[in-house]
Amino acid sequence: MERPLASSDAPPVDPAPAVPPVLDDHPHGPVRTGVGGWFITRLPLLVVLAFGTYFAIASYELELGTLRAPLSGLWPFIVSVVLIACTLVGLFTCDPTDVEQFGRPVVRPFLGLAALCLFVLLWDEVGLLLTGAVVLTFWFKVLARESWRMAVALAVGASVVAHLLFVVLLGARLPDDVIAQLWGG
Give, in order, the Cα–Cα distances in Å from 43 to each of 24, 48, 128, 145.
21, 9, 36, 29
Question: Domain boundaries in the chain?
Answer: 22-98, 104-182
- pLDDT tens digits for the chain (185 residues)? 566 555 555 555 555 555 445 555 555 555 555 555 667 778 888 999 999 999 999 999 998 998 888 899 999 999 999 999 999 998 888 776 666 666 677 788 888 889 999 999 998 889 999 999 999 999 999 989 999 999 999 999 999 999 999 989 998 888 888 888 887 76
Query: Which distant-in-sequence residues (6+ apart) come within 8 Å of 138 by Cβ?
Result: 115, 118
Instruction: Tell me the whole-structure pTM to 2 decimals.
Output: 0.51
pLDDT number for residue 44: 82
The answer to whether the Cα torsion of 106, 110, 113, 115 is positive or negative is: negative
pLDDT number for residue 30: 57
pLDDT number for residue 1: 56
